[in-house]
């Protein structure tokens, strides 16, 4: 897959007159969004991780856009007045690492064009369309093998074109080097446009293919009349196509799997591939690094991945990380802590359980007494108890475990990716999570983020497990770039996209979004008169356990079905004899959706006389 895109956006846009005197053309809005911003969104959705924008005229607009989208890097073509698109591409060259997609800045287009290029096997491919009747066509001539032979705006030179240039092209590094060599070969080429460099390179033996999509919906916008045509003829087609492709939205308010974006859903639709191919090995390696970066420094930590749910990752960690003669201390203050203890007992691991309230903070002093009482090798705890929404204070607890020389193994499943976490700072050696919670992927990949030094200690330990053996999985992948057993192939593609989208949003901003949703929920609960199980001081912003109202008219099923009819899925929660229902903030949820949900909740509670 191609990971980089370059947008050449140096131009003056002089054909627009006053409108683009103080603003680059790409910032002309279509349906309320600047052309170039919409292009950036489409590139991200198509799996592009880095967008280099070559700027010039009014470059500050692009610098501002780069602040909003962290994937953007701007490079200014200081000589934009005297050069053209090739001059702007030239300033971007030092940042181009491999194959990339080159785009013009003044385009509106159907995102399917990016998919066409992402699916291309051939190295250099120009996306072309049938007749656009735009009155500003760039015609492409090609031979019988669809290899580009000429480019011209003059129809008499290319009477029977192979297609029209769209302005979206897949280019290999090799081709780029040749384009640059040509551009630099003669000072008279200073005002060269990139398509002419492509033509030259193609004629010189580096084939550039023309891939025509006959009825492709796109247009370049160079002047007022083109803008008018774009708004009345092209944009409605693009919009309709996109609406046809959008998938019915269900907002999952259950504690995972979480709501995913359409781009994550579509990322699973890829060519079949044997997971033992190097290409897939590279993808898994990239995903592993991306997963590590979310919560730790990849210099010291490494992610080991399995095809399994989050509990599979917990089982891999617990059954792999306690030394053969070790002793484990587990904190149990909710179902997930209890699950860690259960796993240890199934593997006959020598263990003590420190029990604590499911809705009140851990008594730190008592825990320290317990740590001191025996020689434990390993300490296990859950960061965020998804049963109740209770956060455990790992910043205090984990360093304490270090003080008593324990290896710390943490289930951070429902905190990972939802809030800033630094395993190194917290002193956590192993941490588990899954592809389908805050990170926003599909269910199917469980992983353990491991401190490398600690993982290497397991090298000669007798295996207590097989499929889930952490060291074996790590070593095999290190040596072969393969997992020992069949991985969930398509889930990995979705996870790769989810990681990109996490980086684009940033974990800090994601936490702010969840916090905004949580505040909307808590305020509504106060107004309705519903009580929460955990004091808001100790609550995460990810899960809220709500005590059911004390009326016999309440029925979880009725509430569930009512919410479901509006596209919201909620989840029950029973803690001993305390009955709750739970609302999660996870994945691609938006504050306005939470507001809508609170209205639905209020309506239901009103109907049973609670408010
Ligand atoms: C979701 C979750 C898990 C894993 O659950 P699975 O259903 O196995 O994916 C583990 N621990 C915590 C704290 C969780 O929230």
Ligand 1 mean position to 514 CA, how many Å?
A: 19
CB of 309 shorter than 6 A to ligand 1: yes
Rounded CA separation 436/446 (Å): 9
Neighbours of 509 (CB within 10 A): 12
**According to the model, what pLDDT value does residue 238 have?**
96
Identify the H or E element spanning 545: strand 543-547
The alpha carbon dihedral of 505, 509, 510, 514 has a sign of negative
Continuous H helices in 165-296? 173-184, 194-203, 224-229, 235-245, 262-267, 278-293
Ligand 1 mean position to 318 CA, how many Å?
A: 14
For a ligand 1 pocket test, name from 254, 256, 571 the mutation site with the most ligand atoms within 8 angstroms of its C-beta: 256
In this prediction, residue 150 has a pLDDT band, given cuts at 50, 70 and 90, of very high
CB of 386 shorter than 6 A to ligand 1: yes
CB of 413 shorter than 6 A to ligand 1: yes
pLDDT digits (tens, 9 = 90+) for 371-402: 999 999 999 999 999 999 999 999 999 999 99
325 pLDDT higher than 90: yes
In this prediction, residue 577 has a pLDDT band, given cuts at 50, 70 and 90, of confident
CB of 336 shorter than 6 A to ligand 1: yes
CB of 311 shorter than 6 A to ligand 1: yes
Strand 107-109 to 4-9 pairing: unpaired
Ligand 1 mean position to 429 CA, how many Å?
A: 19
Ligand 1 mean position to 438 CA, how many Å?
A: 12
**According to the model, what pLDDT value does residue 574 have?**
82
Query: Which segments of 11-56 are extended strands (E)?
Result: 29-30, 33-34, 50-55
492 pLDDT higher than 90: yes
Phi-psi region of 427 (alpha: psi -120 to 50; beta: other; left: phi over 0): left
13 pLDDT higher than 90: no
DSSP 166-184: EEEEEE-HHHHHHHHHHHH
Neighbours of 461 (CB within 10 A): 15
Among protein residues, the one with the nearest Cα to ligand 1's atom 5 is 310
In this prediction, residue 1 has a pLDDT band, given cuts at 50, 70 and 90, of confident
CB of 414 shorter than 6 A to ligand 1: yes
- Ligand 1 atom nearest to 384, measured from its CA: 13
- Please give the span between the terminal C-alpha atoms of the chain, in angstroms, as a whole number: 54
**According to the model, what pLDDT value does residue 14 have?**
81
Tokens of 466: 């097989």
Ligand 1 mean position to 437 CA, how many Å?
A: 9
**According to the model, what pLDDT value does residue 19 have?**
80
Ligand 1 mean position to 313 CA, how many Å?
A: 9
97 pLDDT higher than 90: yes
- Ligand 1 atom nearest to 311, measured from its CA: 8
12 pLDDT higher than 90: no
Contact residues for 5 (Cβ-Cβ < 8 A; gap 6+)? 43, 48, 50, 51, 52, 100, 101, 102, 103
pLDDT digits (tens, 9 = 90+) for 101-138: 999 999 999 999 999 999 999 999 999 999 999 889 99
Continuous H helices in 418-506? 423-426, 452-456, 470-480, 489-505
**Around 382, how many Cα atoms within 13 Å sit in the side-chain half-sphere?**
32
Ligand 1 mean position to 418 CA, how many Å?
A: 14
- Ligand 1 atom nearest to 434, measured from its CA: 9
pLDDT digits (tens, 9 = 90+) for 67-84: 999 999 999 999 999 999
576 pLDDT higher than 90: no
pLDDT digits (tens, 9 = 90+) for 456-467: 999 999 999 999
DSSP 375-387: --SEEEEESEETT
**According to the model, what pLDDT value does residue 289 have?**
98
Indicate the pTM of the whole model: 0.94
**According to the model, what pLDDT value does residue 193 have?**
97
Ligand 1 mean position to 320 CA, how many Å?
A: 18
21 pLDDT higher than 90: no
20 pLDDT higher than 90: no
pLDDT digits (tens, 9 = 90+) for 25-61: 999 999 999 999 999 999 999 999 999 999 999 999 9
Mean predicted confidence (pLDDT) in 282-288: 97
Ligand 1 mean position to 563 CA, how many Å?
A: 24
185 pLDDT higher than 90: yes
In this prediction, residue 355 has a pLDDT band, given cuts at 50, 70 and 90, of very high
In this prediction, residue 258 has a pLDDT band, given cuts at 50, 70 and 90, of very high
Tokens of 564: 């479901």
Mean of the per-residue pLDDT values of the chain = 96
**According to the model, what pLDDT value does residue 98 have?**
96
Among protein residues, the one with the nearest Cα to ligand 1's atom 3 is 310
363 pLDDT higher than 90: yes
Contact residues for 415 (Cβ-Cβ < 8 A; gap 6+)? 383, 384, 391, 421, 438, 540, 542
């Amino acid at each position: 897959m191609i990971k980089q895109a370059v947008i050449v956006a140096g131009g003056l846009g002089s054909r627009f007159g006053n409108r683009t005197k103080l603003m680059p053309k790409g910032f002309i809005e279509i349906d309320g969004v600047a052309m170039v911003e919409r292009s950036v969104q489409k590139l991200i959705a198509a799996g592009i991780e880095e967008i280099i924008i070559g700027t010039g005229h009014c470059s500050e607009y692009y610098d501002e856009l780069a602040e909003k989208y962290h994937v953007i890097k701007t490079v200014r073509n200081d000589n934009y007045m005297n050069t053209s698109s090739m001059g702007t591409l030239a300033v971007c060259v030092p940042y181009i690492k491999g194959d990339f997609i080159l785009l013009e800045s003044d385009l509106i287009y159907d995102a399917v064009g990016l998919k066409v290029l992402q699916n291309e096997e051939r190295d250099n491919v120009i996306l072309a369309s049938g007749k656009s009747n735009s009155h500003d066509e760039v015609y492409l001539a090609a031979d019988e093998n669809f290899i580009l032979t000429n480019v011209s705006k003059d129809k008499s030179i290319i009477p029977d074109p192979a297609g029209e240039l769209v302005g979206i092209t897949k280019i290999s590094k090799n081709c780029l080097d040749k384009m640059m060599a040509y551009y630099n070969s003669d000072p008279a080429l200073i005002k060269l446009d990139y398509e002419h460099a492509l033509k030259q390179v193609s004629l010189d033996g580096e084939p550039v293919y023309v891939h025509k999509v006959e009825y492709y919906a796109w247009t370049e916008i160079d002047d007022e009349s083109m803008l008018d045509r774009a708004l009345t003829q092209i944009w409605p087609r693009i919009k309709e196509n996109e609406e046809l492709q959008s998938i019915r939205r269900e907002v999952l308010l259950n504690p995972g799997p979480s709501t995913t974006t359409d781009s994550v859903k579509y990322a699973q639709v890829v060519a079949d591939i044997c997971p033992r191919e190097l290409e897939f090995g590279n993808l898994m390696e990239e995903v592993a690094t991306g997963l590590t970066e979310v919560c730790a420094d990849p210099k010291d930590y490494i992610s080991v991945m399995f095809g399994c749910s989050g509990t599979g990752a917990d089982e891999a960690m617990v059954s792999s990380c306690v030394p053969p003669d070790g002793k484990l201390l587990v904190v149990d203050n909710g179902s997930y802590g209890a699950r860690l203890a259960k796993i240890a007992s199934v593997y006959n691991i020598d263990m003590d359980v420190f029990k604590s309230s499911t809705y009140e903070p851990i008594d730190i002093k008592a825990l320290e007494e317990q740590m001191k009482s025996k020689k434990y090798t390993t300490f296990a705890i859950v960061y965020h108890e998804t049963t109740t929404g209770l956060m455990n204070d790992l910043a205090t607890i984990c360093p304490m475990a270090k003080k008593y020389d324990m290896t710390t193994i943490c289930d951070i499943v429902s905190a990972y990716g939802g809030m800033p976490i630094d395993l190194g700072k917290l002193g956590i050696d192993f941490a588990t999570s899954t592809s389908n919670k805050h990170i926003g992927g599909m269910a199917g990949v469980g992983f353990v983020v491991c401190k490398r030094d600690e993982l290497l200690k397991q090298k000669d330990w007798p295996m207590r497990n097989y499929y889930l053996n952490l060291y074996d999985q790590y070593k095999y992948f290190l040596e072969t770039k393969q997992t020992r057993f069949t991985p969930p192939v398509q889930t990995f593609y979705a996870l790769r996209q989810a990681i990109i989208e996490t980086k684009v949003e940033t974990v800090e901003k994601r936490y702010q979004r969840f916090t905004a949703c949580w505040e909307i929920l808590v305020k509504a609960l106060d107004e309705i008169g519903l009580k929460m199980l955990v004091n808001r001081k100790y609550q995460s912003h990810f899960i809220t356990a709500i005590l059911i109202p004390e009326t016999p008219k309440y029925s979880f099923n009725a509430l569930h079905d009512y919410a479901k009819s509006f596209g919201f899925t909620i989840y029950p929660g029973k803690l001993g004899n305390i009955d709750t229902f739970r609302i999660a903030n996870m994945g691609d949820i938006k504050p306005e959706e939470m507001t809508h949900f609170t209205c639905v909740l209020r309506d239901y509670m009103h109907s049973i006389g609670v408010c």
